[in-house]
Structure 1
Amino acid sequence: MPQPQTQAVQPKVTYTKGDIVLFRDVERFWLGLPGHTFVGRVERSWTHADTRKVLYDLTELSGNRARAGIDPDYMRLLPATDAMHDIDTAPLSEPDTGAMTPAAVAWLRQHLAQDAALPAQHI
């Protein structure tokens, strides 16, 4: 008996202002041109007058360039948990800070500096 083919289905996502997303310039992608995938920040959403499809205006973060009318089918949310994974999983028990990523070390330094600035708590 043949096995049914499965296809990944991307759930419908509504993006909000300030979301960080990965988006693809679909024309460049399908033409095989380089530089088709970017990281951007959502600036606003709007509904196309003819198609009634919700589209997004983004700011491309690498060049601070505005991109208008991006189709959400070619966007993916970049969750903060992924961006912060290296900090969240930093080997704090390691005596060698070289085992940590620079982001983890920077976060720890900032966190320790904030703790040192707090007045002592008396119980």
Structure 2
Amino acid sequence: MDDQLALRIRLFREGGQVPPEVVDFVAAELSSLEDEGHVVTEASAGMLTSHLMMALGRLLGGEPIEQFLTDDQVASELAGHPGAVARARAVSARAERDLGAALPESEVNFLGMHLAVLGGRSGSVPAD
């Protein structure tokens, strides 16, 4: 993880935008990706980091997450990235287990897109 991504995470932690357990969860997910050999930097994972932080923070805060009009389009784009989709579903399952917050399908799809981009920069994103 580069200094810029670490700064983004620190700002989330210090800013109180999301609960500390969400920051810890997202940081652990990023570390796991990095341990698997993926390039996890501000450029490759900054948007992934913010998106996941905010989505999980909203869920834990009881805020609804609405379906997006582009859900079908995103799902069709993910058809060629089964590893990213599987990884996104695994992250959602861990979030439900560890935080009590399962991501809705639209958020899983967007997470899958972020993971597909990350995989495109550093190889395929394996399912776990």
TM-score by length of structure 1 reads 0.22
TM-score by length of structure 2 reads 0.22
Q: Which has more helix, going by share of residues?
A: 2
